[in-house]
C-alpha cells in the first residue's frame, strides 16, 4: 500500500538516494533509475507500457549496447552526408550529463592501459580529432565504435569498459535518440505496443 500511495502522490526519493541504492546494480544505475521512474509516474497515461519497457537499456546485454552505439554512429554518418547537424546537436546537448572531458577520463581507466591512450593520442587518422573533440559526445561514440570494430586492444566486449567509466552513456544517448526512433536503423531499439 505504501508503494501505491507514493506513486499516486508522486513521492519519490531523490536521484542521489536512488543512485546510492542502485550503486551495486548489475546494469548501470542510471538506466535502472530511468526504468523505475518510467514505471512509477503519478499519472498512469505518462507511464510506459510493459511492452515498451521490454526494450529499455536496463535489460540490454553488452552486445546489444555495442550494436546500439554502432547504429547511432551510422545514423550520425548518414546525417553528416546530408550536411545536417540535428542528431549531432541533440547528442551534444546531453554530453555534460555523461562526462566532462572523455579523453582525460579514459586515461583514468586502469584496464585500458597507456598503450590504448597513446594510440588514440598519436593516431594519424583520428587521434588529433579525438583529443581536440574530447568534450563532444559524438566523438566518444565514434571512438567506441571504431575501437570496437578494430580489436587491436584488449577492451573486452568493447563497450563495458566504457559504460563503467561513463555510466550515463547508454541511457542518455537512448533518451536523445528516441526523438529519431522512426529511423529504420534505430526502430529495433524502441519497441512500441
pLDDT in tens, 64-116: 999 999 999 999 999 999 999 999 999 999 999 999 999 899 988 888 878 88
What are the cell numbers at 150?
578494430
The Cα–Cα gap between 60 and 62 comes to 7
Closest residue by Cα to residue 162 from 186, 145, 179: 145
* Residue reference for cell 547528442: 91
Top mean pLDDT of 54-58, 94-98, 189-193 is at 94-98
- Contact between 34 and 18 under an 8 Å Cβ cutoff? The reply is no
Question: What's the first-to-final CA gap in the chain, in angstroms?
Answer: 28
Mean pLDDT of the chain: 85
SS3 state at 123: coil
- The DSSP line for 81-103 is HTT--HHHHHHHTTHHHH-S-HH
The Cα–Cα gap between 189 and 163 comes to 18
Compute the average pLDDT of residues 155-182: 93
- Contact between 149 and 139 under an 8 Å Cβ cutoff? The reply is no
The Cα–Cα gap between 20 and 161 comes to 21
Taking the CA atoms of 171, 176, 179 and 185 in sequence, report the sign of the dihedral they define: negative
Q: Residue 136: what pLDDT?
A: 94
What angle do helix axes 29-39 and 169-177 make, rounded to 10 degrees? 40
More confident residue, 31 or 20: 31
- pLDDT confidence band for 23 (50 / 70 / 90): low
**Whole-prediction pTM:** 0.81
- The residues, ordered by sequence, that sit 6+ positions from 175 with a Cβ below 8 Å of its Cβ are 34, 94
Q: Residue 81: what pLDDT?
A: 92
More confident residue, 79 or 53: 79
- The residues, ordered by sequence, that sit 6+ positions from 91 with a Cβ below 8 Å of its Cβ are 72, 76, 137, 138, 141, 173, 176, 177
pLDDT in tens, 119-153: 888 776 665 677 888 899 999 999 999 888 776 77
Compute the average pLDDT of residues 185-193: 82
Amino acid at each position: 500500500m505504501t508503494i501505491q500511495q507514493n506513486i499516486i502522490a508522486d513521492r519519490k526519493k531523490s536521484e542521489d538516494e536512488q543512485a546510492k541504492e542502485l550503486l551495486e546494480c548489475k546494469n548501470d544505475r542510471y538506466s535502472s533509475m530511468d526504468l523505475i521512474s518510467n514505471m512509477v509516474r503519478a499519472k498512469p497515461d505518462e507511464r510506459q507500457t510493459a511492452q515498451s519497457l521490454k526494450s529499455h537499456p536496463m535489460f540490454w546485454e553488452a552486445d546489444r549496447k555495442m550494436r546500439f552505439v554502432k547504429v547511432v554512429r551510422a545514423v550520425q554518418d548518414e546525417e553528416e552526408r546530408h550536411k545536417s547537424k540535428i542528431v549531432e546537436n541533440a547528442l551534444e546537448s546531453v554530453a555534460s550529463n555523461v562526462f566532462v572531458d572523455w579523453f582525460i577520463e579514459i586515461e583514468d581507466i586502469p584496464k585500458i592501459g597507456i598503450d590504448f591512450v597513446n594510440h588514440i593520442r598519436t593516431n594519424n587518422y583520428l587521434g588529433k580529432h579525438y583529443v581536440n573533440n574530447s568534450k563532444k559526445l559524438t566523438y566518444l561514440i565514434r571512438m567506441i565504435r571504431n575501437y570496437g570494430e578494430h580489436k587491436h586492444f584488449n577492451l573486452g566486449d568493447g563497450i563495458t569498459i566504457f559504460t563503467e567509466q561513463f555510466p550515463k552513456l547508454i541511457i542518455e544517448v537512448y533518451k536523445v535518440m528516441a526523438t529519431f526512433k522512426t529511423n529504420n536503423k534505430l526502430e529495433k531499439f524502441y519497441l512500441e505496443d
